[in-house]
Amino acid sequence: MAAREEKLAQGIDVTEQPTPEKFYRQPYSFVRRGDRLTSRRQKAWDTYAPTHVLDLPRLVADTSVAPEATFDQEALYGRTAPLVVEIGSGLGEAIVHRASEVPENNFLAVEVYTPGIADLLLKMGQAEVENVRVAQANAPELLDNLLEENSVDELWVFFPDPWHKSRHHKRRLVSPDFASKVARVLKPGGIWRLATDWEEYALVMREVLEAHPDFENVHAGEGATDEDPIGGWAPRWEGRTLTSFERKAGEAGRRAHDLTYRRVS
């Protein structure tokens, strides 16, 4: 207390500042890598980031999302339309491809890596796609603080980091708590599409979503076998383009597992 009073007497601001522990207690599902950009990516960033990357209020980290954040479709896209959100857009292959196929929808890419976002912007510019915006943000905070309840028509989580070592499983994105965050923003009847090339993680995803009261499996019982009597795997969704990541996983012998869930009313 004496130290605090001494600082006050010296005119030093002693207002308690938020800490990462107070702001977000869950372990991050990602680890930041280098943010250096190639010349082509830098040019794309300089050209498109001012108009296509959301200017979000932050608290602690540069990927945090402050509670006062707002998402105004009319202001961001110049219209209101069905909203598709992709968590972990990587290099933007999937979302740019789909956005070009469905120009009547609005798309929001959520990604933390600057080079990935820059590559997405590059692809977007090359494809002359106008209906994609990007949020550089930690996904759970974005679901909590940016998107309104019952505002999303479709949400994707394709090939999230499997964190395959047991001691790292707590970092996995798909969990009961995360599922509740997704359920809050999805409209009743809204679709959550998931895919992973890590079989053990696929089983965990299915277990989490099967147990959640707000979701039903669109393909319940399909694909059941003696070894896997539950089944419920979705066929490969035609709207998910084959990305370079999935192609490499296939070459390494890892098969993609798809799941599709609907938010119940």
How is the beta sheet containing 257-263 ordered, strand by strand?
132-136, 106-111, 83-87, 152-158, 186-196, 257-263, 215-217
The pLDDT of 132-159, averaged and rounded, is 97
How far apart CA 68 and CA 251 sit, in angstroms, is: 45
- Residues annotated within a binding site for S-adenosyl-L-methionine: 86, 111, 138, 161
pLDDT in the model for residue 224: 85
Catalytic residue from among 72, 161, 226, 228: 161
Taking a C-beta distance cutoff of 8 angstroms, is the pair 135, 64 a contact? no
Alpha helices in the chain (DSSP H): 2-9, 20-23, 39-52, 73-77, 93-101, 114-127, 139-145, 176-185, 199-211, 244-251
* pLDDT 10s digits, 95-122: 999 999 999 999 999 999 999 999 999 9
Instruction: Name all domains of the chain by residue range, CATH numbers in brackets.
Output: 27-263 (3.40.50.150)
Q: What single letter denotes the amino acid at residue 95?
A: I
**Left (φ > 0), alpha (ψ -120 to 50) or beta: where does 109 sit?**
beta
Q: Is a pLDDT exceeding 70 seen at residue 41?
A: yes
- Phi and psi angles of residue 76, each rounded to the nearest 5 degrees, phi first: -80, -40
- Residues annotated within a binding site: 86, 111, 138, 161, 165, 197, 243-246
**Pairing state of beta strands 186-196 and 132-136?**
unpaired
The pLDDT of 37-44, averaged and rounded, is 96
* pLDDT 10s digits, 211-221: 999 999 999 99
> What rounded mean pLDDT belongs to the chain?
88
Taking a C-beta distance cutoff of 8 angstroms, is the pair 185, 151 a contact? yes
pLDDT in the model for residue 27: 53
Exposed / middle / buried, residue 11 (Cβ in 10 Å: 0-12, 13-18, 19+): exposed
Taking a C-beta distance cutoff of 8 angstroms, is the pair 233, 223 a contact? yes
How far apart CA 193 and CA 235 sit, in angstroms, is: 11
**30 versus 81: which is more confidently predicted?**
81
pLDDT in the model for residue 19: 44
Whether 161 is catalytic is yes
